[in-house]
Structure 1
Amino acid sequence: MASKILGIFLFLLVASSTAKDDTFTFNGFRGTNFRLDGATYVNPDGLLLVTDTVREKMGHAFYPSPFQFRSSRGGKILSFSSTFVFAMVSQFTEVSGCGLAFVVSATTNLSAVLPDQYIGLFNKENNGNSSNHVLAIELDTLQNLEFGDIDGNHVGIDINSLTSVSARTASYYDSTTNQFKKLSLASGQAMQVWVDYEGDDMILNVTLSPVETPKPNQPLLSSIVNLSNVVSDSMYVGFTSANAAFFTAHCVLGWSFKMNGTAPAIDYKKLPPVPQFKTSGRSRKLAIWLTVASTLLVVLASGVVVFVRRRTKYAELLEDWEREYGPHRFSYKDLFKATNGFKVKELLGIGGFGMVYRGVLPTSNIQVAVKRVSHDSKQGMKEFVAEIVSIGQLRHRNVVQLLGYCRRKGELLLVYDYMPNASLDKFLHERSKPTLTWAQRFRIIKGVASGLLYLHEDWEQVVIHRDIKASNVLLDSEMNGRLGDFGLARLYEHGSVPQTTHVVGTIGYIAPELGRTGKATTATDVFAYGAFLLEVACGRRPIESKSEQMVLVDWVLENWKKGSVLATCDPRLREEFSVAEMELVLKLGLLCSHPLPAARPGMRQVMQFLDGDAAFPELTPAYLNFSILSLLEKEGFDDYIMSFPSTMATMSAVSGAM
């Protein structure tokens, strides 16, 4: 009876655990009632050894009671904070075990896990499963290629998997030098870790430093981590560790934890001592050789796994009929490397049909733009790829060259020349960009018209772009406009009838007849070019929805009726433009946007107007009145799409279909 009372007294005095159920502090672990298994035990000094140098190869230690990690059943994730002091002590300093992890887990039953590289946390079958409900902060001292480890001395954030979502070489921020200083996790020295999660902002910070060093003001890791699908209503907190062929003592000296607040400070003076080991030179050499041999086997096995995974990672779709397009086909591996694995930092833009990344081809060091587009390989892919390869033969100073393609699983990758000044759209609509002068805009307008004339009339086949808009006009190093993104383009022979039957394009640029026929023609490209002309001149998108919807073409036409067409030009130009050129562009934009295809000019005629080789016809606003019902009725439009604005609204329902 006396021994039980003494045990309770020591637990209350030494462990210093608070009476609250949302926090605790342990300065040593004598008298604790943790859930321990495997190699884990508390030595007489109060040191928690998750694994040691003589026992089993893995162990676990969990606080006995779970914590409420959600505000209510299924509610929002709560904030939490924890800090602990640890040390990893090997019998032989040259080699170490697998590391230690701080764990937030839905269960304490980890009986099916494996030691070695799995650090007693997962096994081959469940590693990566969303059903694990595990968050771990790993202190990893063995590089495992199969998990993509950055090195053999790093800190990582793991979500249901040993492939870290964020990792960094073990180090701490020194405020005196404003730099991170490297630490060796397996040095045998005591170190402290802080784990802080902000539930509202979903930010997880992990900070590391030598023991008794004040907490650095910059964390080692800071990541946005959404735990909504990871954290259950109640979760356990604890530690797990494992050894490989060579045993290491993975020790925890002190630990504190708190929900919705900052974890209490650890009293360094009350912490148990770090163990020291001594061995003979002979046994030391033997252990080193055994460890080296074991490590080589692990590396070899990992290498095989990595090889298989790399084959899968870079797997492509390549059918026999594509072999004739060899020079135009890129390997997925090259494109993956060129874009640094399609990392966010290489992202140039996001469109309705895919994401565009900047890349540098590994063999030639040529800069390219890579667009990833979803596709269905069962529907006309052979014909589609044939058209892509044909488009790759286009050569014009105002057309971005399509260099080639790659097919992989459910996506198509299109490779283009890289344009350093990105898209015209950014210069027209992003206030952070400098304002383009009228001279620059007029040159771009003429350049795009020249490129379209080449596509429609001067190349060996007719190329219908089908997605002409400011964001698909790219600017080279000299700010020349080049028509790009041919992912939706279609080809047909001169004199033949287009066969496309699906409406694609972008709302505001889609010709009204597409809703009835579904067939793209050179006239539908001209319509989109008309919307583009007004966008460049006015600095406004074809359709804007603010307090009420504004259709640009209607607004320009209405001002022309009032005799104030110049009032629609971009105010950022500050009237520093040629009045004759501005009026020409505005009226030409209206003419190209005529609701009747036959009333629109061809691109050769457009070029003649822009070059001054032909006089622009004397038109009245009435000729271009897009709401004249008789004109639309002659084209067979029903009552639902009689007016131009409603026609454009109808197009939104079908734009984006392929």
Structure 2
Amino acid sequence: MVFKIVVLVHILSSLAIAASQDLNFIYSGFRSTNLSLDGLAQLTSNGLLRLTNETRQQTGHAFYPNPVTFKNSIDGSAFTFSSTFVFAIRPGYATLGGHGMAFVIAPTRGLPGSLPSQHLGLFNGSNNGNQTNHVVAVELDTIRSVDFNDLDDNHVGIDINGIESVRDASAGYYSQLNGKLTNLTLISGQRMQVWIEYDGMEKQLNVTIAPIDVDKPSRPLLSLPRDLSPYLNSNMYIGFSSSTGSAFSSHYVLGWSFKMNGQAEALDISRLPKLPRLGPKKTSKFLTIGLPVLCLSLFFVAVSSVSYGIRRRRKFAEVLEDWELDFGPQRFKYKDLYIATKGFGDKELLGSGGFGRVYKDPQTTHVVGTLGYLAPEHARTGKATTSTDVFAFGAFLLEVASGRRPIQPAEDVILVDWVFARWLGGEILEARDPNLGTEYVAEEMELVLQLGLMCSQSEPAGRPSMRQVVQFLEGDIPLPDISLLRLPKSDLPFSRFDDFAMSYPSSMGKSFSHTSVSESLLSGGR
């Protein structure tokens, strides 16, 4: 019985060693990843491994949780292995980092007793250089430490049992085109990729680095012809170490791949998480120049329209009879107009354009028209208010931002419904003017489109004031959730004016027909 147990344990141990010898993993981001973290190291909500932050004189470690078999026995030869990772260093000061980061192979996780600053969280003053450390690391050093004979404040080094590199070089890569060395700045904040490869047969360690948009160079930056077997235990831990000093940097790892006895799988750059925004938010010319000019133009148009309307009213003012003073001027109900134009059918259509359709009333000499910029209550009462101005401004924003007219007769499209449908589908930016190309900021374009929808809703009480509109545009207050908008079935923007809109799916998720709209409108009149 005891013999069987011993055999079983031996078999299980052999299987575990074999599995570890074939270890192969790839992390395209670290969301929900089981890493061993300590110090400042943390996983961000979008899957970044952030080793350090804005805290000074601290360390951060992140290790693969399980030990990795690097050789069969304590006196055996180290296996071939390779690893690649994408990193970025965002310094607290533009020209001063602190202090750097390293890929590390160590006998324990966390490197207890290690110090920050120039020790990179790898060693301390008492054990630095000890042969019993059994630590191999590739450092990305951004501070020059004279005490450790650093080459400069922007170098890559290979460390064995101590922080003083046995081989180092200024950060850069050899071009595939001309073979010349191109310099890199480690604290540029840009994404870069590192390849670390050890050939167990040739006994050589190669380190290569390049920008994220450059294929792996054929010539490594560093080559160390040395057998790593004496420095590695049978089982080791692999991971990353970083530290800050008097200055600080945020050290990020975006993706990591490792393979024992083979070539590490290539990282898919498109699947890696995004870094935080670097620097102030870019303001597009649309908001800084275009929108003020448009608003000023709209103001002059509004003033001119009001002035023209006053002059026209005076010119064509009606002389009312005595009986009209008692009973008021004649008003047409929407019901009468609907019947007179036969449901706004094409038979009575005189013409159409960007502002709507014009119909003939066969029973009278009147014509019936629609205007894309008129608020529903304006069409009913004929009176302009601050709320109707907001409506017109919202429609104007959507003409400008989308490059479309309020009503597209040729396409049977109502702009408000069309933009809202894009928003409901999660693709509101598809409503932008295609002529803008890439010359716009996505967040600002989305703000303008959503604000246009808010201002163009049919319920006056639901529209913001012009003061709030300005606050939304300037970012002083956040834009509310426009999914909360709900419009009465008989009071949809624009839709009641055009027969072609009655069969167009509205932005509220309701479908229209001639019958449903006519019933809702004829029942109440205008």
TM-score, length-normalised on structure 1? 0.39
Task: Calculate the TM-score normalised by the size of structure 2.
Answer: 0.48
| Higher RCO (C-alpha under 8 Å, 6+ residues apart) | 2
